[in-house]
Structure 1
Amino acid sequence: MSLRRSHLRAASVLAVCLTACLTALSPATAGATADPSGDQAPQRQLDDFVHRPGGPPGAIAVLQTEKGTRVVRAGAADVRTGRSPSSEDHMRIASTAKAFSGAVALTLVDHRALRLDDTLGKRLPRLPDAWRSVTLRQLLSHTSGLPDYSRSDGFLDELRADPLHHFDSRRLLDYVADKPLLFKPGTQYRYSNSDNIAVALMAEAATHTPYEDLLRELVYAPLRLHSTSLPQGNRMPEPYLHGYDVSPSAGPQDVSEVIGMSGVWASGGIVSTPADMTRFIRGYAGGRLYGSTAVEQQRQWVEGASEPAGPGRNSAGLAVFRYETRCGVVLGHTGNTLGYTQLIAATPDGRRSLTFSVTSQITRSADEEGLREMRAVQENFVCALLRGKN
């Protein structure tokens, strides 16, 4: 398949899936080995999931407890070479990037540079008057009512025409600037990619600092994330987990570098590794970036699910979700984008964590059965984590 045909095919796939995808901190790999315990159930389950019809070509899960780190892997990071996935492989983290914007915003709240009740009208007066009353709290909880720019015809048309189109990340909300709010702010939950674009813009306005610099200063440095970045382009740093389109009409198609990240930015553009994501979620869920007041505000739960839904019963806080499984509660975030589906979760004290990554996009609209099976596997991994079978 030519590069141009590959781009066009991926753009077509992307137009269908985009609304879903946009829609203690010691190194996680220290002393890690594959399946060091005698419990083979997680390995068997991950193998079975990868080898199911239409399953992802590769998967990796990192479980970390007080006892150490376990890495479970299945399939290949690259189907051409057959190389196994590694916790140091780069990957697109999709909407788990929204937790990073939450980390920035809540740290600024803790530093009193922002307030949860600050409005778009106060911080971003150039945005439509109809949106003026929306607060930072409502953006972080997906109760803002902002229309989703990634659903707009203008945005999707540009993406279909050129998957590598360079968007002005700070003008993405312009695609829906002529739209009213979908509902009165604070009265409903509706997951929107616009919310976290607005969060990043508010952080920039409050600090006069680019969002990328805020990530480095407030998140990457304190949590020692050495392989995490927010690129604008389409290229992946080596080594990386290759992401695939596994549509039944053809064999796995590598879509890792088919689209640029400028069109998702703070809503889903971050590239990281399973090791870094383990460090991140342990610190983020454990409340190590900001004080107890911000943590308490973050954990005011409303009915709502991440996208895709995480394991167990989901409820939404401020840029974090509560996953109530049959074995107990973890806090985290999910995400999916072209070629990747992600879950990061940790106990509320951050002492135990799970990073679960697969190399295809799994959505309810495209593979409802696959999503159901993945959530079941994820819940089993959470149970292994919480029961200490590590």
Structure 2
Amino acid sequence: MRRRIPARRALATALLAVSVLAPTTATPAGAAQVLASPYEVDDACPSHELDPALASRLDKAIEKVRRQAGIPGVVAGLWMPGKGSYVRATGVADKATGERMNKDVFVRIGSETKTFTATALLKLVDDGRVGLDDPISRYVPHVPNGSRITLRHLAEMRSGLFPYTDDADFQHDLLSDPQRSFTPKQVLAYGFKHKNTFAPGAQFQYSNTNFVLLGLVVEKVSGHRLAGFIEKRVLRPARLSHTLLPDSSEFPRPHPHGYTNQTLTGEVADSTDWNPSWAWAAGAMISDLHDLRSWAKTVATGTLLSPETQAQRLKMLPTGHPGTSYGLGIFKSGGWIGHNGSIPGYETVTVYLPSKKATLVLMINTDITYQGQEPSSLLARAITEIVTPDNVYDRPAPTRWAGSTLLP
């Protein structure tokens, strides 16, 4: 039976301690766990595993990438109606003890948070309380060029606002004290020191500044804290009981240790209990395999939104990277719709392929790049090359401190 998260207000005191997974001796550390009972979700859920030969190919591909890229642990879930399901946990959750990875872990989901923040905003659009073409200056004062930057520009990553995570002072302040708590206004100040990089709507630039502002819009209009609004209007209707926006470094159990080299020295550090407050509406959320599997279909098909609003969300625009386009807090890569996430120590991919009604979820406990590539993207590419060769997930290589590296 899956554990249920305690009431959100109890998390701050109940879950501050860093936890490790219960030791197991039945399987050697690093060996893959074959899960005979895939998660139970809804309608088109495959109730049987993939063909053994296909599953074996996936096992080998995942293990090859895991070892080449130095990924400590991987949780992979693939569900393909008509073909079956595939759920694996391989590698270790704790490099110090060798405790193995487990499918039932919680992880920090980085920029996948944007899909939740965008959904919260679009719920307000459906309520008639905000308009996508409203200027941000109507809701948040002192935004550079705020009278011309719309909520749509922010959600599309086309505002031209400088990414606060590119600011050298921010990088130093965060990495000097990873336990530090940042407020939204504090992180925005790092970005607002800089001139805007282009006119609103002129081009695509991935910037967490955009989604911190959208989080403030949700709070301003709803009269509730962002975490509470997402809980009530997004998580509950979507039946996601294992997903939350934490107040600090709280982390539900069990969770793997996370490893990053985004440090002042470049040395690898255990970032498990780093405070993600700096990422807030852009990347601070936590979830698990079960919830992410369900969310992939919900966000891609617009279950929680009106058809008109979902159509707006899925208006994908060029990013400058062939094969990848971006809508309102959601992207398309090789036909797969969803988002990835990266935050020091953890990376995730949650995507849905409408043409095959297939879902792919990946969770790993490192964000250390391999030959300039995000390890989660390498895994997603290897898997989709096998199961959907006509729809290969192919996210571009990230720029350090941009896109979805240290920023979520």
After TM superposition, is the score higher than 0.5? yes
Structure 1 equivalent of residue 134 of structure 2:
118
- Given the alignment, which residue of 382, 385, 405 partners 1:380? 385
Structure 1 equivalent of residue 184 of structure 2:
169
TM-superposed deviation, 1:145 = 0.5
- Given the alignment, which residue of 68, 71, 78 partners 2:87? 71
Instruction: Say whether residues 1:232 and 2:247 are aligned partners.
Output: yes
Given that residues 71 and 375 in structure 2 are in contact (C-alpha distance below 8 angstroms), is that contact kept between their aligned partners in structure 1? no
TM-superposed deviation, 1:372 = 7.2
Given that residues 139 and 195 in structure 1 are in contact (C-alpha distance below 8 angstroms), is that contact kept between their aligned partners in structure 2? yes
Task: Give the superposed CA RMSD.
Answer: 3.1
Relative contact order (C-alpha < 8 Å, sep 6+): which is higher?
1
Alignment map for 1:169-248 (pairs within 5 Å)? 169-245=184-260
- Given the alignment, which residue of 331, 336, 346 partners 1:340? 346
Give the Cα separation in 2 of the matches to 1:342 and 1:370: 10
- Larger displacement relative to structure 2 (142-151 or 225-234): 225-234
Alignment map for 1:245-284 (pairs within 5 Å)? 245=260, 253-257=269-273, 259-284=274-299
- Given the alignment, which residue of 136, 144, 148 partners 1:133? 148
User: Could you tell me which amino acid in structure 2 is paired with residue 176 of structure 1?
Assistant: G
Structure 1 equivalent of residue 35 of structure 2:
none
- Larger displacement relative to structure 2 (111-120 or 190-199): 111-120
TM-superposed deviation, 1:277 = 0.9
- Given the alignment, which residue of 304, 308, 311 partners 1:289? 304
Instruction: Say whether residues 1:150 and 2:165 are aligned partners.
Output: yes
Structure 2 equivalent of residue 6 of structure 1:
none
Give the Cα separation in 1 of the matches to 2:49 and 2:94: 18
Give the Cα separation in 1 of the matches to 2:171 and 2:376: 25
Distance 1:135 1:217, change over 3 A: same
TM-superposed deviation, 1:63 = 1.2
Structure 2 equivalent of residue 22 of structure 1:
none
TM-superposed deviation, 1:140 = 0.7
User: Could you tell me which amino acid in structure 2 is paired with residue 201 of structure 1?
Assistant: L
Structure 1 equivalent of residue 365 of structure 2:
359
Structure 2 equivalent of residue 323 of structure 1:
333
Give the Cα separation in 1 of the matches to 2:151 and 2:102: 37
TM-superposed deviation, 1:380 = 2.5
Distance 1:375 1:37, change over 3 A: closer
User: Could you tell me which amino acid in structure 2 is paired with residue 154 of structure 1?
Assistant: D
Output the TM-score relative to the length of structure 1. Answer: 0.80
Partner deviation per Cα, 1:34-89 (whole Å, 9 max, x = no partner): 8774421111111111122x420111111123355420232122334544433320
Given that residues 302 and 316 in structure 1 are in contact (C-alpha distance below 8 angstroms), is that contact kept between their aligned partners in structure 2? yes
SS in 2 for 1:46: helix
Instruction: Say whether residues 1:55 and 2:60 are aligned partners.
Output: no
TM-superposed deviation, 1:130 = 2.4
Give the Cα separation in 1 of the matches to 2:87 and 2:165: 34
Q: Identity rate of aligned residues, in percent?
A: 25
Structure 2 equivalent of residue 27 of structure 1:
41
TM-superposed deviation, 1:370 = 5.6
Given that residues 123 and 233 in structure 2 are in contact (C-alpha distance below 8 angstroms), is that contact kept between their aligned partners in structure 1? yes
Structure 2 equivalent of residue 19 of structure 1:
none
User: Could you tell me which amino acid in structure 2 is paired with residue 338 of structure 1?
Assistant: P
User: Could you tell me which amino acid in structure 2 is paired with residue 336 of structure 1?
Assistant: S
Given that residues 118 and 328 in structure 2 are in contact (C-alpha distance below 8 angstroms), is that contact kept between their aligned partners in structure 1? yes
Structure 2 equivalent of residue 107 of structure 1:
123
Given that residues 35 and 71 in structure 1 are in contact (C-alpha distance below 8 angstroms), is that contact kept between their aligned partners in structure 2? no
Instruction: Say whether residues 1:90 and 2:90 are aligned partners.
Output: no
Distance 1:31 1:65, change over 3 A: closer
Partner deviation per Cα, 1:108-159 (whole Å, 9 max, x = no partner): 21221221101111121x2235222111111111001111111223322321
Please list every run of 5 or more consecutive structure 2 residues that lacks an aligned counterpart in the other structure: 1-38, 393-408
Structure 1 equivalent of residue 319 of structure 2:
304
Give the Cα separation in 1 of the matches to 2:289 and 2:47: 12
Given that residues 144 and 196 in structure 2 are in contact (C-alpha distance below 8 angstroms), is that contact kept between their aligned partners in structure 1? no
Give the Cα separation in 2 of the matches to 1:345 and 1:122: 33
User: Could you tell me which amino acid in structure 2 is paired with residue 227 of structure 1?
Assistant: H
Distance 1:250 1:304, change over 3 A: closer
Partner deviation per Cα, 1:208-228 (whole Å, 9 max, x = no partner): 111101110122101111111
Given that residues 34 and 73 in structure 1 are in contact (C-alpha distance below 8 angstroms), is that contact kept between their aligned partners in structure 2? no
Given that residues 228 and 271 in structure 1 are in contact (C-alpha distance below 8 angstroms), is that contact kept between their aligned partners in structure 2? yes
Partner deviation per Cα, 1:206-258 (whole Å, 9 max, x = no partner): 111111011101221011111111113224221012222379x999753212x
Give the Cα separation in 2 of the matches to 1:56 and 1:26: 28
Given that residues 170 and 201 in structure 1 are in contact (C-alpha distance below 8 angstroms), is that contact kept between their aligned partners in structure 2? no
Give the Cα separation in 2 of the matches to 1:213 and 1:349: 34
Distance 1:275 1:197, change over 3 A: same
Output the TM-score relative to the length of structure 2. Answer: 0.77
